[in-house]
Structure 1
Amino acid sequence: MLPRETLATAQIPGGDTLTLISHGRDFVIMFGRDELMGTRMQFSEEQLAELTLAELARPAPRVLIGGYGMGFTFRAALAHAGEGASVTVAEVVPEILDWARGPLADLTGETLSDPRGEVVLCDVAALIDDANDGTCPKWDAILLDVDNGPDGIVRDQNSRLYTRTGLAKAREALNPGGILAVWSAAPDHKFTLRLKEAGFAVDVRTVRARPNNKGPRHTIWFARKS
């Protein structure tokens, strides 16, 4: 059995510890004792971006992503967004970018130097608020992958994103026809209802963690602003 090696740790602001671990050729980010993400099960996070952009069907969308992680969603968004797109990631843990440029450099590739992309060290809720108060233009898509889902909060402050008030703010921050997409490790019927109550047209899909139709089943909500 291959040993696991701890490469680095980082503190989530106001939260638990993240640990970057290598396991042979694979990497894993642990949240406390739980596996948050890893290179063996990245497909659903890539699908978060790919399926959203396919549904959006706009040539140069303005996209906001909550959480960089290992960059799976960010890279997929850049790959499918088109030449004139703008993709912004909000990340609250600075060390995540150090890992992206260090131990995970082969995985990162040239993504962080893509002129269409930007990683901002801030709470994604702040950029949603900026779109609402006119500080920045509104978004065509908001992709949330900052937790293990609405019922799997990694950082206490993130809970507001999934409340009726938080969902209303996200809807207001979208352009007409825009999509709020939310990744989750598990289904959540009550969250589906909250999205509908916030005025979204909701499509819920189940996506495997691996592209060979294996691994855990993850849930993605696609909530469109009509």
Structure 2
Amino acid sequence: MLPRETIATAQIPGGDELTLVSHGRDFIIMLGRDELMGTRMQYSEEQLAILTLEQLRVASPRVLIGGYGMGFTFRAALAALPESGGEVVVAEIVPEILEWAEGPLAHLTGDSLGDRRGEVVLCDVAALIDDANDGTCAKFDAILLDVDNGPDGVVRDANDRLYTRTGLAKAKDALNPGGILAIWSAAQDHKFTRRLKDAGYDVEVREVRARPNNKGPRHTIWFARKP
């Protein structure tokens, strides 16, 4: 069995420690003993962006992503933007994540961080949602959340507020009409589906495999559209 080698660690503001490890040719970001993401199972995180952008009905969508991670969702969103234009903004709270992207994970990153259609902002995604609501920045056509393993503040307690009735209402207000709030989860949560509906969204729930060969765990994505 190949050993796991620790490459780097980073402290989450208001949370625990992240660890970047290598396992043979693969890379994994760990939270304690839990795997948050890895290069062997990235398909569902890419689908979070691809499936959302397929449903948008605007020529130049403005997309907000909560969490950079290994950049799977960010790169997929850039690739899925229509030829007519668009922009992708990522909120990331851990500076070291971007250092990893330009260091040991540079082979994954490629030139995506230099793409003029994309921007990574070191802040809480809730702050950018608030900015869209108070007019500091333009509203979004899609908000993609992959800051936890589901609608719970696992990585950081402060993330809980994103999934409350108040947080869901703020996200809806930050969306343009017809915009989509898409949330990735490692598991189903029927109570959260009801919470989204109660918040006034039109909700679709899909299961997506972790790997493109229809193998690996089944992950859940909520697509909540603002009427």
TM-score, normalisation: structure 1: 0.99
What letter matches 1:128 in structure 2? I
> Distance between the aligned counterparts of 2:176 and 2:96, measured in 1?
32
Q: Deviations over 1:55-85 (max 9, x none)?
A: 1132210000000000000000000012421
Structure 2 matches for 1:52-91, cutoff 5 A? Answer: 52-83=52-83, 84-91=85-92
> In the alignment, what sits opposite 1:7?
7
Give SS of 1:147's match: coil
**Equivalent residue, structure 1, for 2:136:** 135
Mapped to 1, the partners of 2:32 and 2:68 lie a distance apart of 18
State how far apart, in whole Å, the 2-side matches of 1:106 and 1:48 are: 22
**What displacement does 1:4 show?**
1.0
CA deviation after TM superposition for structure 1 residue 153, in Å: 2.1
**Paired residues of 2:153 and 2:160 also in contact (CA < 8 A):** no
Aligned partner of residue 202 in structure 2, secondary structure = strand
Structure-2 separation of matches of 1:67 and 1:6? 22
- Partners of 1:163 and 1:58 lie apart in 2 by 28
| Aligned-partner SS, 1:187 | coil
**Which whole-Å CA distance do the structure 1 matches of 2:33 and 2:161 have between them?**
24
% same residue: 81
1:33 equivalent in structure 2: 33
Name the aligned partner's letter for residue 94 of structure 2. V
Partner of 2:117: 116
For 2:10 and 2:198, the matched residues in 1 are separated by 37
User: Which structure 2 residue ranges, 5 or more long, are not aligned?
Assistant: none
Point out the more displaced range, 51-60 or 113-122: 51-60
Consecutive unaligned residues of structure 1, counting only runs of 5 or more, are: none
- Give 1:173-212 correspondences, 5 Å limit: 173-212=174-213
What is the number of equivalent residue pairs in this alignment? 226
What SS does the aligned partner of 2:193 have? helix
Q: Secondary structure at the match of 1:99?
A: helix
| Partner SS state of residue 136, structure 2 | coil
| C-alpha RMSD over aligned residues | 0.8
AA aligned to 1:12 is: I
Structure 1 runs (4+) deviating above 3 angstroms are none
Distance between the aligned counterparts of 1:187 and 1:57, measured in 2? 27
Q: 2 CA distance for matches of 1:82 and 1:102?
A: 30
Q: Secondary structure at the match of 2:13?
A: coil
After TM superposition, give the deviation of residue 151 of structure 1 in Å.
3.2
1: distance between equivalents of 2:186 and 2:42?
12
Q: How many Å separate the matches in 2 of 1:59 and 1:40? A: 33
In 2, are the aligned partners of 1:59 and 1:81 still within 8 Å (CA)? no
Report if aligned partners of 2:89, 2:119 keep a CA contact under 8 Å in 1.
Answer: yes
- What secondary structure sits across from 2:116 in the alignment? coil
Letter in structure 2 aligned against 1:173: A
In structure 2, distance between residues paired with 1:155 and 1:29: 15
Tell me the equivalent position of 1:223. Answer: 224
TM-score using structure 2 length: 0.98
Q: 1:48 to 1:184 in 2, by over 3 A?
A: same
Q: Does 1:44 align with 2:49?
A: no
Letter paired with 1:186:
A
Helix, strand or coil at the partner of 2:180: strand
